[in-house]
Structure 1
Amino acid sequence: MTLRAFIESLCSEQCAGREPGSTGGQKARALVVDAFRGAGLEPVEQPVPGCSGANVLAPLRGEQDRWVLVAAHYDHLGRSGRHTYHGADDNAAAVGILLEVARALKKNPPRGRSVLFAAFDGEEPPYFLTEAMGSEHYARHPTVPLSSIDLMVCMDLVGHAVGPDGAPEEVRQSVFALGAERSEGTGALVDRLAHAEPGVVIRRFDGETVPPLSDYWGFWRREVPFLFLTNGRWRHYHTPEDTPDKLDYAKIAATARWLERLVRETCARPEPSVRFLPGVRDDASTLRSIISLTRALEPLSPMAAAARATAEKLLTRCDSAGRIPDRERIAMQMLVGQLESGLA
């Protein structure tokens, strides 16, 4: 099954919006299980009693008993009245990428660390940020010790092009990476690979730029190194119009290739383990990403130049560790909010 065909199957009426515990959710889970098996892996289902669903876990054992966890949730909002919430961007596209990476790494295994692929259930409301959330259940009942995970990569909302039609390709191809600063060496690795794959540009933001938005929450609070990949919310977020025909499949494929590269390089890192860095903040990376985006958007919006000027001024206020004074954070948060609204 092709990447697009798999995404379309998760968004079909048969899966009916993939609500945890529903018949549609069970059919979606069966599709994920079959796809992992088709990739040559041996998935197992981990029941999640709180949402009446189950996580799907597929290990790829390497040379070391250290792990890279690659994850995306497969559930969505189900149906409401006559409307089906298909959840193409949220989060069928990410599950498709997860499986593309699994296929590539099974065919040509990485050196060093092992990889655990996880399709989590129960990410959407009413389970979000509760013990019933599939990823939180996993963090409470892990199949590998959390202390052996050197990076948890979480994907959510990674299927759409960023910004309005007509925006520059360097904007449309953006994928935002949050949380790299929370583990030693991960930020430098992501920066080095930011432009490594044609068709996608990785832009780093600090993990605290936005409130916790997805399955990395349970790992972050347990001090597991993490990286959150997202294209941000768009105008079809949590609506029945989030359908497969609106996705950017070239960008999805490029994101899968980029993530495969990142996982390979993380598996091969020479350190015995990757150290979590509590309390670290990298506002400078956030501001540099804002400056780059707004500079590209200036031909389309007169507001972009003003936003860039503000971001450049704030960047000069960062200390040597890249942290902005607390009194300046509200200005940076306003810039982030304006940018998210303008790109939705």
Structure 2
Amino acid sequence: MTTEMRKLVEELCSPACAGRKPGTKGGDAARAAVVSALRKAGLDPHEQPVPGLHGANVIAVLPGDVERYVLVGAHFDHLGELAGQVFWGADDNAAAVGILLEVARALAAERPTGRGVILAAFDGEEPPHFTHDTMGSVFFAKHPPVPLDRIDMMSAMDLVGHTFGPAGVPDEVGASLFALGAERSEGTAAHVDSIATSEPLVRIRRADAEVIPPLSDHLAFWQRGVPFLFLTSGRSRHYHTPTDTPEKLDWPKMAATARWLERFVRETCARPPGPIPFLRHGRDDAATLRSFITITTALEPVSAEASAARETAEELLAQCDERGALPDPLRSHASMLVGMLESKLA
């Protein structure tokens, strides 16, 4: 982990940024901090004002050998102040912006081969802007800096800064980071699987994009047929509370995530030229269930409920077809298992 990543995260969670609500002095200060950090990292960021938001996305472009791109994005806004309390938003989503900075720094120092890279810090992800035209990622998708059909992969991050589970969970569980959406583009699931354990302090676990509601910046690109990968550790007990503060972040896991994402981006840039086919009806319930089984197996020594949950997941996995898809009537069961796991480990 570099001191620059930690410095940016702590600045975004400072009293000057006051929860980073768009249209406030705190939101403006946060945006200025992101611009400054990217400039120091060797990029040339610009602001993309979002009409009606009173805020702006921050965008930096690293040209490649071809006029095609990989987009890496994370929102920097949060809830601001409510009822006299500041909602600091360390995990949601300052940590992801810190990781974005680390990836940007590495790519600026040594450019990828093949595709170029667009780094985007989105504004206006939190309510009431979500899915509206005032949401930063929605506006970006409608007014991209390059033609949208030249963006071959969009990687979004949200809630990636915490250990998965409370203190005392096995390391194999705490290091979990979920990757959703790889099944929606040709070759991406195999790519993610091939490097899932390449960083010792983070374990990439694939899950189907529909296993949780699409409540982050990847949605605008999914809806427009852009291949995507959404990285998240799910909601912790500090989600959308004033207790979401930097000292609770898992800094080594964040640094490992930045290294993993840098590798994923470099290797995606180097994939054969031309569009990466989007698989609109791609499904992989089997990946979700395998990830669930791995985690509950690791939890069995410390949780009396883990064995029964694992057995249920194994029964569902046996119902998947050769493509990894559950019958439609059973798909909700996988989502319920994941929701239960997130709730128990929050």
2:37 is aligned with 1:44: no
User: In the aligned structure 1, how far is the partner of 2:8 from the partner of 2:140?
Assistant: 25
Among 286, 306, 309, the alignment partner of 1:307 is: 309
- Native 8 Å contact 1:50 1:133 kept in 2: no
CA distance in 2, matches of 1:229, 1:325: 26
Q: Show CA shifts across 1:73-97 (max 9, x none).
A: 0000001132100000000000000
Q: CA deviation at 1:43?
A: 0.5
Counterpart-to-counterpart distance in 1, 2:131 and 2:311:
36
Residue of structure 1 in register with 2:325 after alignment: 323
Q: Deviations over 1:41-75 (max 9, x none)?
A: 11110000121110000001111111000000000
**What does residue 286 of structure 2 align with?**
284
Query: How far apart in 2 are the matches of 1:57 and 1:31?
Result: 13
Matches within 5 A, 1:146-225: 146-225=148-227
For 1:115, the equivalent position in structure 2 comes to 117
SS in structure 1 opposite 2:22?
coil
Amino acid at match of 2:11: S
What is the distance in 1 between the residues matched to 2:337 and 2:320?
A: 16
Cα deviation for residue 328 of structure 1 reads 1.2
Deviation at 1:238? 0.2
Q: Is the 8 A contact 1:76 1:90 kept in 2?
A: yes
- Alpha-carbon offset, residue 2 of structure 1: 2.3
1:315 maps to a residue whose letter is: L
Measured in 1, the distance between the counterparts of 2:345 and 2:244 equals 16
Structure 1 segments, 4+ long, off by >3 Å, are: none
Q: Distance in 1 between matches of 2:259 and 2:298?
A: 25
- In 2, Cα distance between the equivalents of 1:163 and 1:220? 28
Any idea what SS the aligned residue of 1:162 has?
coil
Note the C-alpha offset of 1:272. 2.0
CA drift of 1:4 comes to 1.2
Q: Distance in 2 between matches of 1:320 and 1:51?
A: 46
User: Is 1:293 aligned to residue 299 of structure 2?
Assistant: no
Partner of residue 243, structure 2: 241
> Contact 1:101/1:259 (CA < 8 Å) preserved in 2?
yes
TM-superposed deviation, 1:271: 4.2
Task: Specify the code of the residue in structure 1 equivalent to 2:249.
Answer: L
Deviation, structure 1 residue 32: 0.4
Is the partner of 2:205 in helix, strand or coil?
strand
- In structure 1, the partner of 2:253 is 251
Give CA deviations for 1:195-220 in whole Å, capped at 9, x if unaligned.
Answer: 01121000000000011110001000
State the 1:337 CA deviation: 1.3
C-alpha change, 1:174 and 1:217, in structure 2 (3 Å) is: same
Give the structure 2 partner of residue 341 of structure 1.
343
- Could you report, residue by residue, the CA deviation over 1:226-260 in whole angstroms, capped at 9, with x for unpaired residues? 00000100000000000001001000100000000
Q: What are the residue-to-residue correspondences of 1:79-158 with 2, within 5 Å?
A: 79-158=81-160
Distance 2:334 2:261 in 1: 28
**Separation in 1 of the partners of 2:213 and 2:147?**
26
Task: Work out the number of aligned pairs and report it.
Answer: 344
For residues 80 and 331 of structure 1, the distance between their equivalents in structure 2, rounded to whole angstroms, comes to 36
TM-score, normalization by structure 1: 0.99
Give the TM-score normalised by structure 2: 0.98
Q: Which residue of 2 aligns with 1:75?
A: 77
Instruction: Give the Cα–Cα distance (whole angstroms) in 1 for the partners of residues 333 and 143 of structure 2.
Output: 40
Q: What amino acid maps onto 1:272 in structure 2?
A: G
**Is the Cα–Cα contact under 8 Å of residues 206 and 283 in structure 1 kept in the other structure?**
yes
Q: Quote the residue 2:35 is aligned against.
A: 33
| SS of equivalent to 1:89 | helix
Contact (CA 8 Å) 1:71, 1:154: kept in 2 or not?
Answer: yes
1:111: how far off?
A: 0.7
1:291-331 superposed Cα distances (whole Å, 9 cap, x missing partner): 00100011111111001001111111000110000111222
Amino acid at match of 2:181: G
SS of equivalent to 2:339: helix
1:6 CA displacement: 1.3
What is the rounded CA distance, in whole Å, between the counterparts of 1:198 and 1:111 in structure 2?
26
Q: Which amino acid aligns with 1:15?
A: C
SS of equivalent residue, structure 1 residue 334: helix
User: Per-residue deviation at 1:277?
Assistant: 0.4
* Structure 1 unaligned blocks of 5 or more: none
